[in-house]
Chain A
Amino acid sequence: MIVGRLIDYLMAAAHQVARKRMRVFLTALGIAIGVAAVVGTVSLGEGIRYQAVEAIKEQSDLTLIEATADIRGGAIQFITPAKIGELGAIPHVEASSAVVREAYATKRQTYLEVVGIDPAGIEGVLQPKFLRGGLLAPGSRQAVLGHDVAETLQRYEGVRLGDTVPILIRRYDEDGMPVDEEVGFTLVGVLQERDDAFDQVMLIDRGVAQELRGGEAAFDGVLIRVDHPDAVFGVVDGIKGLGLTARGAFQQIESVNRLMDVVVLILAFFAGVALIVGALMIVNTMVTSVFERTREIGITMAIGASPADVVYLVLAECLYIGLIGGVIGDLLGVAFSGAINTFGKPFIVAQLGDTFSTFADAEITLITPGLLVLGMAIAIALSLVSGLYPALKASHLNPVTAIRTGV
C-alpha cells in the first residue's frame, strides 16, 4: 500500500522530471561533482590506508600477540591458569604459551630482556628460525638469543654458541641491600632477524625463570599465535574481553587506522564543500520549479491533494535528481580516482620514500562497493534535504491564490 503510493508519486514526478531533462541533468551534475570529489578523495585515503596496512602485515609478525595483565576497575587482572585456558579457547588462536618476563644483566652490565617460556611452546607461538644452534632443553639453564642481542654479546663480550654466560640476577637481602647472584646460562641457539622485539630478547626455560625468581608460579603474559592475519583484531577483542591488555604488531595498524581516519575525514570534509554547492543548486532549481508551477500546484490541491501529497510529489522529483547525481557522481568518482592513480602516484611515491616502495606497483586509491553506496546515499539524502524547503513552500500555497495568480 505505502509502496504503491510511493510508486505513484515517483511516476507522477517522473513526468515532471522528463519534461525538463536538461535542467534536472545540470542540477544533478552539481551534486555529482560533490559526490565525485568525496569518492575520489576518500578512495585515495582508503587506498593509502590499505597499502600502509599491507606493508605492516608484510614487514612484521602480525599474528603474534602478547596478552598481559591489566588494571581494570582498580583491580589487577592476573594471568591465572584459568585465564590461560580462556585465552587458548578464543577462536582463531592457533597456539598460546604463558611466559615470565625478567630483566637480567651480564657481568659487564649488558642489559638482558629475558622471556621465560615453555620450550614445548616456542615452536607454536614464535615459529623461530635459527641462525645458529637450536631449541633449549626443558628444565635446563640454556638460553636462545635474539639476533640483535646475540650480535651485541658476541661483539662486546665475545660470547659464542656453546659458551656458558655468567649472568647476574639481582636480589635484595633482609636489609634491603642489593645482592647479585651469579647464574650460568649456556647459549644453545641464535634466532634469525625478526624485525620485532624478540631480536632483543633472551629466551630461557620458564620453570628455570620462575625458580630463580624464588619459586613463584605466576606468569607475566601469554604469547598467542593467531591462525590468520585477518583474525588478529577479533582475537585482540577477545583478549580485551577477558580484561587483559593485548600488545603486538597489530598496534601499528591501529595507529595507521587512527591517523587515516582523521586524514580521510578531513579530505572528505573539504570535498564535502562541493556538496554544499550542489545542494544549494537543488534548492534553487526546485524553488524555481515550484514557482513556475504555482498554478499547477493550486490545481493539484483543488482536485484533492493534501499538503502532504504536494510535499511528497516535490520530494519525489528531488529523489530523481539525487539518483541521477549519485550515479554520475560515482562514475566521475571512479574516473577521478583512476586519474589520481595514474598521475598522482609517481609524485606520492617520490615523497614517501623507500619505506613505502610497495606503493609503486600498487593502486594507491581504493574504491570499495561501500564507498560507492556511500556516494549514492549522500546524493540521495542531500537532494531530499535540499528539496524540503521548496516542498514545504509548495505545500503552503493557498490554492485559490495559486490558481488565480499562478504563472
Chain B
Amino acid sequence: MEPIIETRDLSKVYNDRVTALADVNLAVWKGEFIALLGRSGSGKSTLLNILGGLDAPTSGEVRIGGKSVDFGDRKALIALRRESIGFIFQSFNLIPALTAQENVEYPLLFNYHEKAARRERAADLLATVGLADRAHHYPREMSGGEQQRVAIARALVGDPLIVLADEPTGNLDSRTRDEIFDLMRRVNRERETTFLIVTHERELGKRTDRTIELLDGRVVP
C-alpha cells in the first residue's frame, strides 16, 4: 500500500536565501493522526501549505493519494483542495457573514453539489461536532471552541482524505483545547480521516499516533 502523503526531497527556499524546508522526506499512512511539532519558523506552516496545494515547493516531489502533485497546474491544485484536503486554521477563519450551517456548506458551493444535498451534509457534520443547535448562529455569536468545531465540520464536509490543521488549538484555553483535540481524534477514528496537526505544544504530541518534528526546515530523526 502506498502512503497517503509522501514527500521526496521536498525543499522550499524563499527569495533564494531563506530556507524554509530542506530535503524533507515524509510518509503518512491513511488514517494516521500525526502531530507536526517544531518551533515557530521551523517550516511547519510552509510544509502544511505545500501539502495543501496553497504553496509550491522549490524542488522535490509531493504525492497525495499515490499521485504526484503538479504544482504548475492550477486547476489540478484547485481540484486537490476541493476533493482531497480539508483545512483548519488557528484563528478559526469562518466567514463572518454566514451562519454556522452556511459556513459548513460553503466549500460544497464550489464543488457543484445540489442545494439540498449540501444542506443535509452540513447538518450531519454539525451534529457530528455537537453543534446541531447552533446551526443558525453567526460566528460572532459563538465561543472560540464552538467556532473551531464549525471549522472542523467545514474541513470535513467535502469528505477529504486528509485534514491539515495549523495550530487548531492555539487560540483556545486549555479545557477547550482538549475538547477540540478529542473531537479531532474521534473523527479520525470514526472516519479514518488522516490528520496532520501542526502544533508547538509537545504535550499534545503525546496524544497522537506519531509525531514528526521539524527543526530549521529539516525533519528531526
The answer to whether A19 and B97 touch (CB under 8 A), given A302-B87, A303-B106, A303-B107, is yes
The answer to whether A295 and B97 touch (CB under 8 A), given A304-B111, A305-B110, A400-B54, is no
Bound complex: CA A300 to CA B102 (Å)? 13
Of A8-16, A136-144, A161-169, the one touching chain B: A8-16
CB-nearest residue of chain A to B83: A304
Bound complex: CA A399 to CA B54 (Å)? 7
Of B32-40, B88-96, B168-176, B188-196, the one touching chain A: B88-96
Q: List B61-114 residues whose CB lies under 8 Å from chain A.
A: 74-75, 78, 81-82, 86-87, 89, 93, 95-98, 102, 106-107, 109-112, 114
The interface residues of chain A, by DSSP majority, are classed as: helix
CB of B87 to closest CB in A, whole Å:
5
Residues of A within 8 A of B97 (CB): 15-16, 18-19
- The answer to whether the Cβ of A403 comes within 8 Å of any Cβ in the partner chain is yes
CB of A14 to closest CB in B, whole Å:
9
Bound complex: CA A15 to CA B154 (Å)? 18
Residues of A within 8 A of B89 (CB): 299, 403
CB-nearest residue of chain A to B155: A303
Q: List A263-322 residues whose CB lies under 8 Å from chain B.
A: 295-296, 299-307, 309
CB of A302 within 8 A of CB of B52, answer: yes
The answer to whether A4 and B114 touch (CB under 8 A), given A302-B87, A303-B107, A403-B89, is yes
- The answer to whether the Cβ of B158 comes within 8 Å of any Cβ in the partner chain is yes
Central interface residue in B55, B81, B109, by most chain A CB within 10 Å: B109
CB of B49 within 8 A of CB of A400, answer: yes
Bound complex: CA A12 to CA B109 (Å)? 9
CB of B54 within 8 A of CB of A302, answer: yes
Bound complex: CA A12 to CA B107 (Å)? 12
CB-nearest residue of chain B to A9: B109
CB of B98 within 8 A of CB of A303, answer: no
- The answer to whether the Cβ of B186 comes within 8 Å of any Cβ in the partner chain is no
Interface size on A, residues (CB 8 A): 23
| Interface size class of chain B, counting residues whose CB lies under 8 Å from the partner chain | 20 to 34
Residues of A within 8 A of B49 (CB): 400
CB-nearest residue of chain B to A8: B109
CB of B196 to closest CB in A, whole Å:
15
Central interface residue in A19, A300, A304, A309, by most chain B CB within 10 Å: A304
Bound complex: CA A300 to CA B112 (Å)? 15
Bound complex: CA A296 to CA B155 (Å)? 15
Central interface residue in A8, A302, A309, A403, by most chain B CB within 10 Å: A302
Please encode chain A, from 8 to 35, with 1 for each CB lying within 8 Å of some chain B CB and 0 for all others: 1000100110110000000000000000
Residues of B within 8 A of A302 (CB): 52, 54, 81, 87
Residues of A within 8 A of B112 (CB): 5
Q: List B112-171 residues whose CB lies under 8 Å from chain A.
A: 112, 114-115, 154-155, 158
CB of A296 within 8 A of CB of B54, answer: no
Central interface residue in B97, B107, B112, B115, by most chain A CB within 10 Å: B97
The answer to whether A296 and B96 touch (CB under 8 A), given A15-B102, A304-B107, is yes
Instruction: Specify which of A16, A18, A309, A400 is in contact with B110 (CB 8 Å cutoff).
Output: A309
CB-nearest residue of chain B to A1: B112
CB-nearest residue of chain A to B86: A303
Instruction: Specify which of A4, A300, A400 is in contact with B95 (CB 8 Å cutoff).
Output: A300
Bound complex: CA A151 to CA B205 (Å)? 117
CB of A403 within 8 A of CB of B93, answer: yes
Further contacts, 4 of them, CB under 8 A, given A303-B154, A400-B54: A4-B114, A303-B106, A304-B110, A306-B75
Chosen A-B contacts, 15 in total, with CB atoms closer than 8 Å, are: A5-B112, A8-B115, A15-B97, A15-B102, A296-B95, A299-B93, A300-B106, A301-B81, A303-B86, A303-B106, A304-B158, A305-B78, A306-B75, A309-B110, A400-B49
